[in-house]
Amino acid sequence: MVVGDRMQHAVFLYDDPARFLAGVGRWVAEGLAADEAVVIVAGGAAHEAIRGSLGVDGDAVAFADMEVIGANPARVIGAVRRFVESGGGRRVRALGLPMWPGRTPAQQREVIAHEAAVNLAFADSPISFLCAYDTSALPAAVVSEARRVHPQVWTADGYADCPQYDMEGLLIGQHPPARPDPLTEPLGVIVDLAGLAVLRVSVAEIAEDAGLSAQRRDELVVAVNEVATNALAHTAHPAFVSRGLDRAEGSLVVEVATHGCIADPLVGRELRPSALGGRGLWIVNQLCDLVETRSGPWGSLTRLHIHLL
């Protein structure tokens, strides 16, 4: 178990609402007794159920809506970082419900990617994460992946090491080869700045044809331009762009593939003003409803989603 000023990152697997609320109540009470800053990031009915079950303890707890800040899971680390920095130096205890029934396959993949990244982003931070997964409502494969990305598991007896913990191949830069979505079709091959200008026009046209508002159209154009520009700036290879629809996600999709490997496994997940790179992908995550990034020695593929109304 990781203690002191270092991170704890545990999965809480439950299959019964009463057991869930009892476990959360015990976990929150322990944090408050230790004078920790406690935040609960949940959405919908879970949010209200937790608040109602905590009684007077709820007045000492901060709440945030996971369905807002975690709709794109890549935004969560930055939000938690801001809470940590506002905690006045106290150890932080953060409960999250990042996965819920109704998450699309693309969102499920990105939740697991986020959970893996947490282990790096907060490795030396005074914070305890508890990530709750409802085993009665979530697919078995999702629960299995949740075990892989959490060093600890939270049980009735407290923390224990998670024997399934294994992040091999889950971080950006280490992914196995990814293929473009077979339902996408080529949009262009970008080799220089002139190609970027043509790409921006093409993306604006497909966004307008898909019925996106002018604002969402412009945001998609900026996002695609950022990814393609990064590909040209950091590799000696062209960027291959394609477009399509993700019907499960209900989104217009633009993919950018290149032969370059992304070296930073936390790229785009929080704004780091002193860093030499990464601001472009952070901007992309703020503009898009979902961003899937896969990268390894084989190259990189970034899939940008904008939801259709």
The answer, yes or no, to whether residue 30 has pLDDT greater than 50, is yes
177-181, 255-259, 282-286: least confidently modelled range: 177-181
Instruction: Quote the mean pLDDT of the chain.
Output: 92
161, β-bridge pairs: 152
Rounded CA-CA distance 120/141 in Å is: 23
Q: Which residues are CB-neighbours of 222 under 8 A, at least 6 positions away? A: 283, 287
- CATH 3.40.50.300 range(s) for the chain read 8-161
Which residue from 261, 230, 9 is spatially nearest to 121, judged by alpha carbons?
9
CATH of domain 8-161: 3.40.50.300
Q: Which residue has the higher pLDDT, 183 or 113?
A: 113
Rounded average pLDDT over 262-287? 84
> Of all residues in the chain, what percent carry a pLDDT higher than 90?
81
For residue 216 the two structure tokens come to 């969402």
3-state secondary structure of 228: helix
- CATH 3.30.565.10 range(s) for the chain read 185-307
Quick check: 38 and 62 in contact, CB under 8 A? yes
CATH of domain 185-307: 3.30.565.10
pLDDT tens digit string along 67-103? 999 999 999 999 999 888 887 788 999 999 999 999 9
Q: Which residues are CB-neighbours of 270 under 8 A, at least 6 positions away? A: 77, 78, 81, 121, 282
